[in-house]
């Protein structure tokens, strides 16, 4: 199980292979089973596998979304802001569940931040995507997870890049766990 955490890296380059329906269902099952505050489950997911829509989504913000143009699949993660005051946290958990499931299924993925990002000077990324995908106003777009077969394997993260200085025990000023 922990291999998923050690192996998962953001994947921005995908092969041309399509994702089969059974795999898509498994990814969505992981998202739908994510924990949420008070079990409100404020999320909804839009599966995008149309290449033209993926190309348009890749322009949702000036930087960081271009990987979607060549991804065979994306899951747009939205949250109902009227259903929960912690929709951002709940939808963030669902987004990472999709990414962990993708890694477990041998796929690569990358989170594209949408919330509080801008398409251009006048339009938020959220507004652009809501119009493009006909999303109702009570739903906010948190993220898009691009998914596909990895075109190359990235090196594993080593223990050297694990920043144990960020871990404290019992008190912020107590030495970290690695010491």
* CATH code (residue 83): 3.40.109.10
pLDDT at 4: 81
Helix (H), strand (E), coil (C) string for 29-81: HHHHCCCCHHHCCCEEEEEECCHHHHHHHCCCCCCCCHHHHHCCEEEEEEEEC
Domain that holds residue 90: 2-166
Tell me the two tokens of residue 17.
């292979």
pLDDT at 76 exceeding the cut of 60 = yes
Could you tell me which residue, 11 or 155, shows the higher pLDDT?
11
In the prediction, which pLDDT does 158 show?
A: 64
**Per-residue model confidence (pLDDT) at position 170:** 79
Global pTM reads: 0.91
Residue 179 lies in a domain: no
Q: Is 178 part of a structural domain of the chain? A: no
48 part of a folded domain: yes
Ramachandran angles phi, psi of 168, nearest 5° = -120, 165
Please report, for the chain, how many H helices and E strands are present, in that order. 5, 4
Backbone angles phi, psi at 165, to 5 degrees: -65, -20
Please tell me what DSSP assigns to residue 176.
P
Specify if 12 maps to a domain: yes
Closest CA to 95 of 141, 154, 150, 151: 141
Task: Write down the pLDDT at residue 98.
Answer: 98
* Spatial distance between the Cα atoms of 101 and 93, rounded to a whole number of angstroms: 12
> Can you give the pLDDT at residue 75?
98
Q: Which of 52, 34, 57 minimizes the C-alpha distance to 114?
A: 57
Tokens of 150: 């990895």
State how many domains the chain has. Answer: 1
Report the alpha-carbon distance of residue 24 to residue 37 in Å, rounded: 25
Q: What is the pLDDT of residue 179?
A: 52
Q: Kindly report which listed range (6-10, 32-36, 57-61, 133-137) carries the lowest average pLDDT score.
A: 6-10
In-domain check, residue 174: no
Looking at per-residue pLDDT, the higher value among 157 and 132 belongs to 132
Contact (CB, 8 A) for 13 and 152: yes
Write the pLDDT tens digit of every residue in 144-162.
999 999 998 776 666 666 7
Give the CA distances from residue 68 to residues 20, 107, 112, in Å, rounded to whole numbers and listed in that order: 18, 15, 9
Distance of alpha carbon 117 from the chain centroid: 15
Tokens standing for residue 135 = 């999303």
Asked if residue 82 belongs to a domain, the reply is: yes
According to the model, what pLDDT value does residue 125 have?
Answer: 98
Distance CA 59, CA 57 (A): 5
* pLDDT (0 to 100) of residue 154: 72
Q: Read off the pLDDT of residues 84-122 as tens digits, 9 standing for 90 and up.
A: 999 999 999 999 999 999 999 999 999 999 999 999 999
Residue 173 lies in a domain: no
The reported pLDDT for the residue numbered 157 is: 65
pLDDT digits (tens, 9 = 90+) for 13-56: 999 999 999 999 999 999 999 999 999 999 999 999 999 999 99
In a domain, residue 175? The reply is no
């Amino acid at each position: 199980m922990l291999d998923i955490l050690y192996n998962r890296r953001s994947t921005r380059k995908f092969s041309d292979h399509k994702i089969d329906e059974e795999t898509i269902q498994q990814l969505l099952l992981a998202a739908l089973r994510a924990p949420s505050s008070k079990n409100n489950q404020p999320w909804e997911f839009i599966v995008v596998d149309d290449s033209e829509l993926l190309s348009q989504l890749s322009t949702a913000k000036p930087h960081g979304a271009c990987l979607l143009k060549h991804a065979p699949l994306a899951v747009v993660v939205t949250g109902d802001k009227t259903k929960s005051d912690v929709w951002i946290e709940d939808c963030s958990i669902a987004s990472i569940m999709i990414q962990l499931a993708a890694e477990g299924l041998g796929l690569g993925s990358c989170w594209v931040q949408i919330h509080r990002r801008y398409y251009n000077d006048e339009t938020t990324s959220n507004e652009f995507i809501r119009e493009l995908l006909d999303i109702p106003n009570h739903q906010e777009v948190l993220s898009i997870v691009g998914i596909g077969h990895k075109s190359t394997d990235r090196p594993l993260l080593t223990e050297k890049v694990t920043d144990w200085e960020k871990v404290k025990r019992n008190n912020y000023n107590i030495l970290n766990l690695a010491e």
